[in-house]
Structure 1
Amino acid sequence: MVDTRFYTHLGPFPLGELLSGLDVEYDTASADPIISQASPLQTATQNQISYFEQKRKQSQLNECGASACFVKPNNVSMVSGFEVVPIISNHPRADFARILDRLYTAKTCLPVQENEEFDDVKICKGVVIGQGATIGKGTFIGPNTVIGPGVVIGENCRIGANTVIEFAVLGDNCLIHNGVIIGSAGFGVAISATGGVDIPHLGLVRIGDNVSLGSMTAIDRAMFGETQIGDGCKFDNMVHIAHNCKIGPHCMFAAQVGMAGSCVIGAGVLMGGKAGIADHITIGDGAMLSATASTMHDIPAGEVWSGIPALPIRQHMRQISAVRKLGKKKNS
């Protein structure tokens, strides 16, 4: 469910009204269910709408209890066995994105919450705090920082200047350096006949206790659900964590680590500067990724990988040695 601390729910709507103006088809004679929420396929329940686009995700249909579902014309037979109204669309993900703005709207920082409402919190000049935000005792907030509506900040945190925190829940004793952005929408774009369609992100960011985030770090909120940063994580400057990633406790990332969406990172993982991780990658507990390494494959627990594309470090070193030997033979 979408968190009402951060979003206003605009529904429910009859399905026909919700789909008004979209280039889609559905059997109006069979049903016109009331749609109250939107949800991913595997978590959708009655009176919710979802979408199905990729055949490799067919197994998620078994968990789907949605009342309506966007589906491509050639995939209609795959949903016919379920109690769901198929909405025929050439671009199911794009049309799903379009109706999200009809079901929800993000809350804004207006009206502003007065700083005097917070006990034992030091707030510098230029700080903007949205309605419903809660800030724990002993916390310091630097100049020109924005705390969005509904945001929760724990006790004894230090928030630097020119930082933006929205759609987020932070634990205790967090150190957020200057210029950090927490809770922006992730990079989600659906392809349609008229070009790219921005996908609204309706989730949040959850950050544990004793977390440190370096300057200019960006952590995107989830499309649905949560982007999670575990207790005790320490990130250098300019680290980027994309939507729906789940980072285990006590991970340490050097500067410019970049991670695409929906990655799952175990406990105590170390990453060198400029390491890159493709989307939907899983990295096990205690693994290490060397500086500038870029992986498109899962990394088992405890292993050390390096290179582009990343490989187990011993294999990578052998490849480098073999290439050097080839170069010597050619020059001799």
Structure 2
Amino acid sequence: MFSYRHAFHAGNHADVLKHTVLIATLDHLLEKDAALTVVDTHAGAGLYRLDGDYAGTSGEAAEGILRLLSGKKEPAAPAAAAAAPAAKSAAKKAAPAAEAPLADAIARYLGVISDFNPKGGARVYPGSPFIIQHLLRDHDKLKLFELHPTDSRTLSANIAQLEAGRQIAVLLEDGFGSATKFLPPPSRRALVLMDPSYEMKTDYGRVLDFAAEALKRFATGTYAIWYPIIPRPEAHDLPRRLKTMATKAGKSWLHATLTVKSSKITKDAASGETQRPGLPASGMFLINPPYTLKPLLAEALPQLAERLGQDRNATFSLESGG
């Protein structure tokens, strides 16, 4: 049950998508003076060293934040261009993509990462808890849930260094089972981030159950759900069922995905060994998203697909409703 450690995956392409969306969402919500409560149901350790043993073992950051910082791209043209014919036509008249200004949402994300790395690069990668705390104001609140015993201890130690006092609460509890106790918050303003590992198939159903209960308790909250796009029926059913839930509740929704490579399992020609692709894609689904988010992602997603794409299957999607 406790085998998943996000330290192995910190800074990968899924983190780039999740944190780009998270920052853009927070920036909008923090424009109002009223206090904001942020709940992270699966907080992890909070802060990661990309030159440490865990991240160094997987090397996933090399195809995520590190590639984005370097500006290097795969030679193969991503399929993202085919997803937007109108954009292709306009691109013929515009400057080459490599010379185009960085999308505002990406630049903002990289700016936050640089705040944790004053000497440049990305030796330190902030997880969602530290990104959120970095952006919050003194009168905002942050509730962090982490059930993994080792990560919870590490999270508590990392958070203690911030000397944030009562602004941040770290709870060694099941976020899906306990987080709704903070809804609605006294200020009636909240963002809830759900990003479990989905290591267990039951996580997909628990996301749906939690979102349904949270909407009943606090219908005007903003809910952000990250999920992996993998060859598993539950992964493809989740966004569809979330759309149905939001629509029935009369709530607006936004769904963004980023694919960086093929999901096909192949065999090495020389060794004959089966090669699995790892995580090829991920998505972010938001209920009650900021109205500013879609235009920001419409600009950012094509660039992320181009810059992080690992083969010709790289693409993106962006849709909304309600």
TM-score (norm 2): 0.24
Higher normalized helix content (fraction of residues) = 2
| Higher alpha-carbon Rg | 1
Structure showing greater relative contact order (alpha-carbon pairs closer than 8 Å, 6 or more residues apart): 2
Higher normalized strand content (fraction of residues) = 1
TM-score (norm 1): 0.24
